[in-house]
Amino acid sequence: MIFLHILAANAEIWLNIFMMGGGVQAHEDCQSFYERYYQSICFDSGQLYAIMRSMNKNSQSSIEELHAYVYGRVQGVGYRYFVVQKAHTLALHGYARNESDGSVEVLAQGPRPALEQLLSYLRQGPSAARVRDVRVTWSTPTEHISGFHVRW
């Protein structure tokens, strides 16, 4: 995956390049999700997709924040890296980190539909995980987080 984020005085421009399965279904999935929720354009080049989206200052009001704590067997099973991969695919900002009580904290920023999709992934987890509970709070972002990464 390649992510380019340009922040100017009046606009943000994002370019995400990632691999998908290819074919008509993959292109339709790209269009139906990204073009619908991100004011984006999907470019198809075989299995490589480029998504360009721009946001002006007025569209920032549509950005929300999801703060979740995930409980169960979620440490030592690749859960944080699973979250990072899903968040990158959804073009979200934020982080995932282990907590001392055995849970994983996830903070994500973006449009509500993408955050709701991430939430469904959080409840599922990677195959080695066993998610018992996800506690969620919604708010407006109080700080801008660049990218999505594992935080220590």
Amino acid occupying residue 127? S
Q: 134-146 pLDDT, tens per residue?
A: 999 999 998 989 8
56 compared with 79, residue with greater pLDDT: 79
User: Domains, the chain, ranges and CATH?
Assistant: 2-59 (no CATH), 63-150 (3.30.70.100)
Give the side-chain half-sphere CA count within 13 A for 57: 3
**Residue in 36, 80, 123, 135 annotated catalytic:** 80
27 compared with 6, residue with greater pLDDT: 27
Active site residue 98: yes
**Does residue 85 register a pLDDT over 50?**
yes
Please name the residue ranges forming H helices in the chain. 23-30, 36-38, 79-89, 112-124
**Does residue 71 register a pLDDT over 60?**
yes
Q: In this predicted structure, what is the pLDDT of residue 115?
A: 96
**Does residue 4 register a pLDDT over 50?**
no
The per-residue pLDDT of the chain, averaged, comes to: 78
**Residue in 53, 98, 123, 130 annotated catalytic:** 98
Active site residue 56: no
Confidence of residue 62 (pLDDT cuts 50, 70, 90): confident
User: Has this prediction a pTM greater than 0.85?
Assistant: no
50 beta partners? 17, 43
Helices 79-89 and 112-124: crossing angle, nearest 10°? Answer: 150
Q: In this predicted structure, what is the pLDDT of residue 101?
A: 98
The stretch 32-42 carries a mean pLDDT of: 56
